[in-house]
């Protein structure tokens, strides 16, 4: 018999725990990152700071070419993925359903510790709100009410289960709002093309979905806002950073993974998630949590769901990480989700060790059966996920 792996705490068990208090609050209230003050010109010309005559104590920046605010991605590399044919996927899924022992052994041994800085309180019970004002509602196929948006996709499973949370406790301080922009050609205005979610897995390393990309052009940018509420970090307008370089994969629901190097080491102050592989013994347990910025809730304020259960785990495509190939896993759960939640962490809380992500949210996936009738929320996990996270943290901290 394979050794049984310790499960994270269930939603009921978490109710018995109290939030941890700190004697000295070290959260970065009012701090300003170097990235938030950065600007640059297309031709590399100098920028002059002059006093503005419009209002007292105001200054203006002047240059001979357009001034761009924020910092661009300097390097973005798509890495190899080894795709599986549908027949092979069905065969693997069926074998793993009938062989529990084999499924239990199909897990990653690579783990990365979570980090909560001293002076940052841990939040077992986030501050919640049920709504943020008037919204449009519709009815799902199950006859339950759901919030409508202009975005095309939203998946509500067995009724709405998400609440709004104020992200002033760890690990919500490590969940980030992402704004993705690109420049169609040199010298023209930058265009925001999408919004997504990411989460810190190191002081300078962030995880998000591989499909968080932009079209072509002369450059692109990902603005990162940690602990976002109402469109800004709760720590202040100046507590933002940008993505410096990325490595990414994206061929299926298991391999939709991107690791990002940030310009500023914000994880030193906000804390960051650990990471570990999913184990099939945890199936159907209400262990998991997810937080992000789904379109059907709010683009700018964080939503959160607890008591999520993983219903199945299927094989994804293998990915190349630092010269070696690793299998990924499609971790399929009953989490509610929508566009904008891509890149959210799916995490559990282990007693005595902390908050570990077991995947990065991808979207939805039909369960790997011949009929394919069950639609579930899906995160990219498995060996590929943990190895990518480990590689990113090792390169960038």
Q: What is the pLDDT of residues 298-325, one digit of tens each?
A: 889 999 999 999 999 989 999 999 999 9
Q: Could you tell me which of 107, 104, 96, 105 has the C-alpha nearest to residue 277?
A: 107
- CA 68/CA 195 separation, integer angstroms: 20
What pLDDT is stored for residue 135 in this prediction?
Answer: 47
90-126 per-position pLDDT tens digit: 666 666 656 655 544 455 578 999 999 999 999 878 8
The percent of residues in the chain predicted with pLDDT above 90, rounded, is 61
| Structure confidence at residue 304 (pLDDT) | 96
Choice between 53 and 4, residue whose per-residue pLDDT is larger: 53
pLDDT tens, 357-381? 999 999 988 664 545 567 889 999 9
Report pLDDT for 109.
77
8 Å CB contact between 310 and 333: yes
CA gap 150, 135 in Å, rounded: 12
C-alpha span between 151 and 369 (Å, rounded) = 28
Residue 239 has pLDDT above 80, yes or no: yes
The pTM of the full predicted model, rounded to 2 decimals, is 0.88
Region label for 296, one of left (φ > 0), alpha (ψ between -120 and 50) or beta (otherwise)? alpha
The answer, yes or no, to whether residue 141 has pLDDT greater than 50, is: no
User: What is the per-residue pLDDT for 65?
Assistant: 82
The pLDDT, as a whole number, for residue 145 is 47
State what percent of residues in the chain have pLDDT above 70: 85
Question: What's the full length of the chain, in residues?
Answer: 397
What confidence score (pLDDT) does residue 389 get?
Answer: 98
17-26, 69-78, 139-148, 190-199, range with the lowest pLDDT: 139-148
Instruction: Output the average pLDDT for the chain.
Output: 87
DSSP state of 266: T
Residues 6+ apart with CB under 8 A from 122: 19, 20, 116, 169, 170, 171
Query: For the segment 155-211, what is each residue's pLDDT rounded down to a tens digit?
Result: 878 888 899 999 999 999 999 999 999 999 888 889 999 999 999 999 999 999 999
CB neighbour list of residue 28: distance below 8 Å, 6 or more residues apart: 235, 236, 239, 266, 269, 270
The pLDDT-based confidence of 13 (bands split at 50, 70, 90) is confident
Q: Each residue of 177-189: pLDDT tens digit?
A: 999 999 998 888 8
Domain range list for the chain? 11-27+72-396, 35-69
């Amino acid at each position: 018999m394979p050794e049984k792996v310790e499960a994270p705490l269930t939603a009921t068990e978490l109710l018995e725990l109290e939030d941890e208090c700190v004697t000295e609050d070290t959260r970065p209230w009012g701090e300003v990152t170097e990235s938030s003050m950065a600007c640059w010109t297309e031709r590399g010309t100098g920028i002059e700071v002059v006093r503005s005559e419009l209002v007292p104590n105001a200054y203006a920046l002047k240059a001979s070419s357009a001034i761009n605010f924020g910092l661009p991605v300097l390097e973005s590399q798509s890495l190899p993925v080894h795709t599986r044919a549908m027949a092979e996927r069905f065969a693997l899924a069926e074998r793993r359903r009938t062989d529990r022992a084999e499924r239990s052994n199909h897990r990653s041994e690579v783990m990365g510790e979570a980090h909560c800085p001293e002076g940052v309180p841990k939040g077992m019970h986030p501050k919640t709100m049920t709504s943020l004002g008037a919204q449009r509602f519709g009815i799902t196929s199950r006859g339950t009410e759901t919030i409508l948006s202009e975005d095309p996709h939203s998946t509500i499973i067995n009724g709405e289960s998400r609440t709004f949370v104020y992200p002033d406790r760890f690990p919500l301080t490590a969940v980030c709002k992402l704004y993705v922009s690109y420049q169609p050609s040199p010298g023209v205005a930058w265009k925001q093309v999408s919004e997504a979610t990411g989460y810190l897995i190191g002081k300078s390393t962030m995880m998000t979905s591989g499909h968080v990309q932009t079209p072509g052009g002369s450059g692109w940018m990902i603005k990162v806002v940690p602990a976002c509420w109402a469109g800004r970090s709760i720590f202040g307008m100046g507590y933002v950073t940008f993505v410096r370089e990325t490595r990414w994969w994206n061929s299926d629901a298991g391999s939709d993974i991107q690791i990002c190097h940030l310009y500023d080491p914000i994880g030193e102050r906000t804390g960051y998630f650990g990471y570990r592989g999913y184990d099939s013994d945890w199936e159907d347990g209400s262990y998991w949590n997810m937080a992000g910025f789904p379109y059907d809730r709010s683009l700018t304020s964080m939503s959160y769901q607890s008591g999520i259960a993983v219903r199945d785990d299927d094989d994804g495509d293998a990915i190349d990480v630092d010269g070696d190939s690793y299998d990924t896993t499609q971790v399929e759960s009953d989490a509610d989700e929508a566009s904008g939640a891509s890149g959210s962490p799916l995490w559990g809380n282990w007693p005595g060790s902390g908050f570990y992500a077991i995947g990065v949210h991808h979207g939805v996936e039909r369960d790997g059966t011949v009929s394919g009738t069950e639609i579930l929320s899906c995160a990219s996990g498995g060996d590929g996920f943990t190895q990518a996270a480990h590689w990113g943290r090792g390169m960038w901290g």
